Amino acid sequence: MEMNGRVAVVTGAASGIGLAIVERLVEEKMSVVMADIEAEALTQQAERLISAGAPVTPVVCDVADSDAIQQLKEKTLETYGAVHLLANNAGVASGQVNYKTPPAVWRWMVEVNILGVAYGISAFAPLMIEQGEGHIINTASEAGLASSALLGAYHATKYAVVGLSESLALELSGTGVGVSCLCPELVATRIFESTRNAPAELGFPPAQPVAIGDIEQWMQSTAMDPRDVAADVAHAVRANRFWILTHQVSHQRVRHRNEDLEVGRNPRPRLDRTE
Ligand SMILES: NC(=O)c1ccc[n+]([C@@H]2O[C@H](COP(=O)([O-])OP(=O)(O)OC[C@H]3O[C@@H](n4cnc5c(N)ncnc54)[C@H](O)[C@@H]3O)[C@@H](O)[C@H]2O)c1
């Protein structure tokens, strides 16, 4: 899809991968509506970009609220008159023992990670189909393709985003609207501080800053720069490529899972990067 002069909506735009996608799309000469639940960070990032001359508009929006997504659509049309690209990127994570994950935490993750994507598609896909041009990027994760322990709710929601994206790509084939499914492994963002945006009634303690170096050790991984993820996204949009796997090791993990599936082997621990 041609990006120059077109309009994009990015959710989860105040931080990490979403913010990097916004910056990349601005470089590609797109106007961008930045949607995020975290008002302060959103205002700060949007003001920084606007003062550098970027055509961006911040909209505070909880993707788990379908009415808020409808308002996001209306605000976008009011401001720019059309929408050509949607990055359904907002997402949250909370590592928990599967059988100890409380119902309210399940609901939070399902509502943000799955329904947030679904509501975005319902609001914006019809506009793109009607204009015969557009591209939708759903941020899933490598965690939507291969599993590990202690992240059951996150895996469940990300597998759902992969399934939804595959189905959507089949459905929209021939309409002029492309679909991509973004499946990164570790990226240097604030995803490990996701509880900062959890509803207060979930009772999480205030989120503490997490050093990405500690996560790298825990995951035996090297965190990718979100700007490199955003570059992969831009290339995929241009080439109308569905899968965006940012890390080589993800291909190996998918291969292992598929082999296990084919021969009926039980799940095995996550493949180490060095294996
Ligand atoms: N960082 C990684 O290692 C990694 C790997 C794979 C996939 N992902 C996915 O990438 C996406 C972006 O996360 P990130 O890593 O940039 O984390 P991040 O925490 O830095 O950014 C996520 C953004 O989403 C916003 N957000 C949270 N809940 C929201 C809601 N209900 N409505 C609107 N906005 C909301 C946050 O305020 C934040 O600005 C997520 O879907 C995440 O699951 C991240």
Beta partners for residue 243, in sequence order = 181
Q: Domains plus CATH for the chain?
A: 7-263 (3.40.50.720)
N residues, the chain = 275
**Nearest atom of ligand 1 to the alpha carbon of 20:** 16
Beta partners for residue 86, in sequence order = 9, 136
Q: Report the distance separating Cα 194 and Cα 191, nearest Å.
A: 5
Whether the CB of 189 sits within 6 Å of ligand 1: yes
Backbone angles phi and psi of 7, in degrees to 5: -115, 135
Backbone angles phi and psi of 57, in degrees to 5: -130, 120
Q: Report the distance separating Cα 246 and Cα 83, nearest Å.
A: 26
Q: Report the distance separating Cα 26 and Cα 37, nearest Å.
A: 21
163 alpha carbon, distance to own chain's centre: 14
Q: What is the pLDDT of residues 165-213, one digit of tens each?
A: 999 999 999 999 999 999 999 999 999 999 999 999 999 999 999 999 9
pTM: 0.98
44 Cα: distance to centroid of ligand 1 (angstroms): 17
Interior CA angle at 52 toward 210 and 11, to 5°? 50
What is the pLDDT, as a whole number, of residue 9? 99
247 Cα: distance to centroid of ligand 1 (angstroms): 18
262 Cα: distance to centroid of ligand 1 (angstroms): 33
**Nearest atom of ligand 1 to the alpha carbon of 12:** 24
Whether the CB of 11 sits within 6 Å of ligand 1: yes
Whether the CB of 197 sits within 6 Å of ligand 1: yes
Q: What is the mean pLDDT of residues 134-156?
A: 96
Whether the CB of 17 sits within 6 Å of ligand 1: yes
What is the pLDDT, as a whole number, of residue 258? 96
Which residue CA neighbors atom 22 of ligand 1 most closely?
Answer: 12
Q: What is the pLDDT of residues 67-113, one digit of tens each?
A: 999 999 999 999 999 999 999 999 999 999 999 999 999 999 999 99
36 Cα: distance to centroid of ligand 1 (angstroms): 10
Q: Report the distance separating Cα 153 and Cα 145, nearest Å.
A: 14
Q: What is the pLDDT of residues 47-70, one digit of tens each?
A: 999 999 999 999 999 999 999 999
